[in-house]
Structures are given as structure tokens and as C-alpha cells.
Amino acid sequence: MRQRLKDGINGWAALCTMVAALLLAAGNAGEARAEYGDVVMNQSSEAAGMRPVVFPHWFHRVRYSCKVCHSDLGIKLEAGGTGIDMLKIIDGAYCGACHNGNVAWSVERCDLCHSGKPGTRTQVHQSAIQKPLAPAAASGAKK
């Protein structure tokens, strides 16, 4: 029983190592990891005194089909490609189609979107390597 348990654990450890190796390999391939990365948007935010926006792509992708955003809402398939700004959001476009206090929490929750680490440029974040989110303690996020 004990031995079987041990074998089981060893098998599990081997599997974990394998999965980790695969993940690393995928990460090194470049393309694959970008697909899962958060999108950081900082075309206007920091220049206007706000933290960069971190858009958790995967979080949204598991909830909506690609079409909702990339066809119906006109969001481009390129980090920073859409030219999203705050006025459009308040008018109900892009993020504002859902973050209106109805489908999801409203635009008043500034810090939930403007949560990026200062200095992070617009990009698909390779989150296994860098840290797009500002440290919670330092961000002063009001919840």
C-alpha cells in the first residue's frame, strides 16, 4: 500500500515535470504563450496620469465567444490596435459594452482596469516572465 502510494506520487511528480517541460517548450515557441497572455494597453493611460490597463484576455475568452468582441464590438486582433479610449468606453463601446454596471461592474471602478505596473508598454503580456500587475499593496486599489 505504502509502496503503491509512493509509486503513485513518483508517477505524479514525473507527470508534473513533463507538463512543466511542455509548458516551457510552448513558452519558448513564442506564439503559443502570447495567446494566453493578458493584453496591456498603455497608449494614453500613463500619459494621462493613470496606470496602464491590464485586460485579462483569458478570463474573458472563457466567458464569451471571440465573435462577441472581435466582430460584434469591433475590437481588433492586435494589442493596442483598436485605439480604445475612455470616452468611447463611457459611450458604451468596447469595454463599455459590458462594464456598464449591468453586464459587469461599471466604469467607476477605475482601479480594476487601470491596474498595470507603471512603465509597462502596450503589449500582449508574456505573463510567465514579467509581472503586468502592480503589487496590491502599492496599487492603493479601492475595492
What are 79's three cell numbers? 494589442
**Which of 33, 75, 116, 134 is the binder for ligand HEC (CB under 6 A)?**
75
Q: How near is the Cβ of 65 to ligand HEC at its closest, in Å? A: 6
Q: How near is the Cβ of 22 to ligand HEC at its closest, in Å? A: 20
Fill in the per-residue mask, 96 to 115: x = in contact with ligand HEC (CB under 6 A), - = not in contact. Answer: -xxx---xxx-xxxx-xxx-
Q: How far apart are CA 109 and CA 4, in angstroms?
A: 52
Cα dihedral 77/106/134/124 (nearest 10): 0
Is residue 142 part of the contact set for ligand HEC (CB under 6 A)?
no
* Minimum CB distance to ligand HEC smaller for 12 or for 105: 105
CA 143 to chain centre: 19
Cα dihedral 97/54/79/98 (nearest 10): -10
**Which of 6, 11, 22, 78 is the binder for ligand HEC (CB under 6 A)?**
78
Q: How near is the Cβ of 28 to ligand HEC at its closest, in Å? A: 17
Q: How near is the Cβ of 74 to ligand HEC at its closest, in Å? A: 10
**Which of 8, 11, 74, 81 is the binder for ligand HEC (CB under 6 A)?**
81
Residues 6+ apart with CB under 8 A from 40: 52, 53, 54, 55, 79, 116, 120, 121, 122, 123, 124, 125, 132
